[in-house]
């Protein structure tokens, strides 16, 4: 078994591995961005909940300022919700791209494994054939020596 197995498509496997690694990084980045927007959105909603009650006992000016502030918060919540949904769509797209990269890499890995198993079987057969020939030569030599000595 002097021959070592060499996968002819190793460069393709390496390229697919690089694509998968790049896709993992992009997925993690998209996930991080979505989490940031989600936290901002939750903070805005909490702020809105704490300030949403307008007391009738406050001055008109304070009520008007508070109403404008709540309107601005509402607008920011709506905007953040849209951004959050967009980040969710981007994350789903990155997830699908990652799955595709993993499938493509796994396909080549399976091919490599099958070819390696076939190569090892072939090498084992060659080795077995050589061993059988050596055993046969030894048998013939021993038999001729035994029969030749008689």
Give dist(CA 110, CA 104) in Å, integer: 10
**Domains of the chain by residue range:** 10-149
pLDDT in tens, 26-65: 999 999 999 999 999 999 999 999 988 878 888 899 889 9
pLDDT in tens, 75-114: 999 999 999 999 999 999 999 999 999 999 999 999 999 9
Do 142 and 34 meet the contact criterion of CB atoms below 8 Å apart?
A: no
Give me the CATH code for the 10-149 domain, please. 1.10.287.1700
> Model pTM?
0.73
């Amino acid at each position: 078994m002097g021959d070592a197995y060499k996968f002819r498509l190793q460069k393709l496997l390496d390229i697919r591995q690089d694509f998968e690694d790049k896709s993992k990084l992009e997925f993690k980045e998209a996930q991080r961005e979505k989490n940031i927007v989600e936290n901002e959105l939750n903070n805005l909603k909490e702020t809105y909940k704490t300030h949403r009650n307008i007391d009738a006992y406050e001055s008109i000016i304070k009520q008007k300022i508070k109403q404008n502030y709540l309107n601005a918060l509402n607008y920011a919540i709506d905007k953040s919700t849209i951004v959050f949904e967009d980040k969710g769509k981007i994350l789903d797209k990155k997830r699908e791209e990652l799955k595709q990269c993993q499938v493509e890499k796994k396909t080549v890995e399976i091919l490599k494994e099958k070819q390696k198993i076939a190569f090892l079987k072939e090498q084992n057969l060659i080795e077995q054939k050589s061993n059988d020939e050596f055993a046969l030569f030894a048998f013939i030599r021993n038999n001729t020596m035994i029969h030749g000595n008689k």
